[in-house]
Amino acid sequence: MDHDRREPCLPPARGPLSAAVTAYLLGTGPLPRAEEADGAAAYGDDLQLALYLCYELHYRGFAGVAARREWDPDLLRVRAALERRFLTALRADTPGHDGLDDALADLLVEPVQGAGVSHYLRDEGELWQLREYAAQRSLYHLKEADPHAWVLPRLRGRAKAAMAAVEFDEYGGGRAARVHARLFADLMTDLGLDTAYGRYLDAASAEVLATVNLMSLFGLHRETRGALVGHFAAVEITSSPGSRRLAEAMRRTGAGPAAEFFYDEHVEADAVHEQVVRHEVIAGLLEEEPHLAADVAFGIDATGYLEDRLGDRLLADWRAGRSSLRVPLDAQTAPAPAC
């Protein structure tokens, strides 16, 4: 299927919060009470899916859900409660740095050899594991750069100009065939995956949902603009070496030319982006708003924390010889059903 299909299907619920949000979106039931979010597991399937459903209304939406639900005040109140639970847990659980300089320096330190997902996939990963990795990451990569674009109206001067330049590259430099979301869809085709937007939402783990929700949360709130810049820095600074390892994994397993190209493209592009983000976006932001340094550091730390949780989950499953997906790919070989 075409990855540009506009409205994916709503996925099955994973608990009372996501069930109530789904019912409300379809007009068949009431929303959960806001206080119900307080007792939910902050990184669990139910809260993360409920939050994802709320955020996706600001992107493509869902089939059968009215576009006006995007700014429904009652739904926004519930979303705010879900966000508070998520952010409160992150601030409590994220190991803080002494300052932004330390946070940035740590991004430049490569993980212990073999300790990360990209090391594992390069050295011993099998094609089925690369397919699972791509399916889960498709929740972000099929809208790559979109969450970060929310910050552009909230920046000024050097930071805005540099951020726009990096985003322009992410959107293919004006060429539709080079838009990174399109390149990832081509990668998925090489791996025999369905490229329909949102196709693997039901299969994705809570750990993946949390990584995508984090950037949506940071991007949709002006007060977290510094954290969004920190998130962007974490992604861009660590991307080039990780992408090199993933490109090697694609070559070793014979995944296909488009699969190789997606990561080869990120090796080159993100090596440049790293310098722009460090010396223009962050430096420009703090030149205008120096009080945001701690928020930038928090964005870096929170990103690392959630990515580490995801990495631990993937490696634990794969080393045990089991699928990392809630719904294994061999159960999703048929085309996506109509909503």
Secondary element (H or E) of residue 312 = helix 293-319
pLDDT tens, residue order, the chain (339 aa)? 445 567 899 999 999 999 999 999 999 999 999 899 999 999 999 999 999 999 999 999 999 999 999 999 999 999 999 999 999 999 999 977 778 988 888 887 765 555 799 999 999 999 999 999 999 999 999 999 999 999 999 999 999 999 999 999 999 999 999 999 999 999 999 999 999 999 999 999 999 999 999 999 999 999 999 999 999 999 998 888 899 999 999 999 999 999 999 999 888 776 778 889 989 999 999 999 999 999 999 999 999 999 999 999 999 999 999 999 999 887 665 566 677
The reported pLDDT for the residue numbered 272 is 77
- Residue type (1 letter), 300: I
Gap between the Cα atoms of 121 and 176, Å rounded: 30
DSSP states of 25-81: HHTSSPPPPGGGGGGS-TTSHHHHHHHHHHHHTTTT--TTS-GGGGG-HHHHHHHHH
Q: For 200-226, how does the pLDDT look when each residue is reduced to its tens digit (9 = 90+)?
A: 999 999 999 999 999 999 999 999 999
**CATH no. of 97-331:** 1.20.910.10
> The pTM is what?
0.94
Q: For 253-276, how does the pLDDT look when each residue is reduced to its tens digit (9 = 90+)?
A: 999 999 999 999 888 776 778 889
Q: CA separation (Å) from 226 to 68, 85, 162, 231?
A: 29, 20, 15, 9
Question: What does the domain layout of the chain look like in residue ranges?
Answer: 16-92, 97-331
To the nearest 10 degrees (0 to 180), the angle between helices 225-253 and 206-220 is: 140
Gap between the Cα atoms of 263 and 247, Å rounded: 5
